Amino acid sequence: MSGTYCRLGGALWASNLEVLRAVHKKLKPFTRARRAARKKIYRLILKEQQAARKLCQDFSLLKEVTDNAL
């Protein structure tokens, strides 16, 4: 069960990353804006990764508790 949620979290993160990369490419001529966007993108990516990791941990813990209860 936890593997499914981990994969789902990874898929959500990957789709968000593609959107962010597309936005970044559109800002190509504007160096300062692009640099600022890159910083924001990296921060968002970090947050997404942490959220996906936490989701995996939460569901693996939940699975462990339910397996022990049965």
pLDDT attached to residue 61: 75
Are 20 and 27 contacting, i.e. CB atoms less than 8 angstroms apart? no
pTM: 0.44
23-64 pLDDT, tens digit each: 767 766 667 777 777 788 788 878 877 877 787 777 777 777
CA pair distance 17, 24, nearest whole angstrom: 10
Are 8 and 59 contacting, i.e. CB atoms less than 8 angstroms apart? no
Domain range spanning residue 36?
Answer: 2-69
Query: In 3D, which of 59, 49, 53, 65 has the Cα closest to residue 17?
Result: 49
**Phi, psi of 30, rounded to the nearest 5 degrees:** -100, 90
How many distinct structural domains can be found in the chain?
1
Scanning the structure block, which residue is given the tokens 């559109």? 26
pLDDT class of 7 with cuts at 50, 70, 90: low
Q: Of residues 60 and 3, which shows the higher confidence score?
A: 60
pLDDT class of 11 with cuts at 50, 70, 90: low
